[in-house]
Amino acid sequence: MSQDVTFVNGFPFIPYHQPVRSASEMAERANRFFEEMSARRSIRDFSADPVDRIVVLKCIETATTAPSGANKQPYTFCLVSDPHLKKQIREAAEKEEYESYTKRMSDEWLDDIRPLQTDWHKPFLETAPYLIVVFKKAFDFAGAAKKNNYYVTESVGLACGFLLAALHQVGLAALTHTPSPMNFLSSILQRPENERPFLLIPVGYAAADALVPDIKRKPLSELLVEYVEN
């Protein structure tokens, strides 16, 4: 332990050193990060070009720095590059997606996703060099005892947000995919009973001829309510 440790009611605390930045540097960083993140898009046409595994692992490690309820980090990231497993996942996902697109989705839902022009075919699940399958853990095991996790969905969602941001800023493409129901991921990847599939994220490079829907994001004015002193 470093020398800077202070004990608060017997628990170790260390100083936090806030980076000091000028107002102009902060504004410049805010603008630069906004521009970077606004350029992120969900990609559905991947190239098969290989991706450096170490880079993907670092992005996953970045995801684990997200805040989580009681610091429990209630998730498991499965990194799949085995072509046999990718094929199995694609076949199972397409089976569910066929049912969803032809029977399970409401007319309103189908209308809402029409601009994306998606259907039940998911070739990217085999083309993308990596699939990151994120599982959320409602509880953990300490030996035979169950240990609770807290705000599990919020915590896993935040970690996935960090992951998507990290992948984007290193120059990789990803898709947030939810071929619902996703139970097939638990059996194919042989996950334990305390884990439930959360997101399936293909990762790689966008195909050279990839197209993305020309959809718009809402302006901040529609999404923000400010409360200031009169």
Ligand X SMILES: Cc1cc2nc3c(=O)[nH]c(=O)nc-3n(C[C@H](O)[C@H](O)[C@H](O)COP(=O)(O)O)c2cc1C
Binding site for ligand X (CB under 6 A): 41-42, 44, 116, 118, 175-179, 212
28 or 154: CB nearest ligand X: 154
Shortest Å, Cβ 4 to ligand X: 40
222 or 226: CB nearest ligand X: 222
Residue 63 · residue 166 · CB < 8 Å: yes
30 or 212: CB nearest ligand X: 212
Alpha-carbon span 135 to 198, nearest angstrom: 5
110 or 212: CB nearest ligand X: 212
Residue 45 · residue 212 · CB < 8 Å: no
Chain position carrying tokens 């998730």 = 75
Shortest Å, Cβ 118 to ligand X: 5
Shortest Å, Cβ 122 to ligand X: 8
AA letter at 137: K
Alpha-carbon span 164 to 167, nearest angstrom: 5
Chain position carrying tokens 């997101």 = 199
Shortest Å, Cβ 35 to ligand X: 15
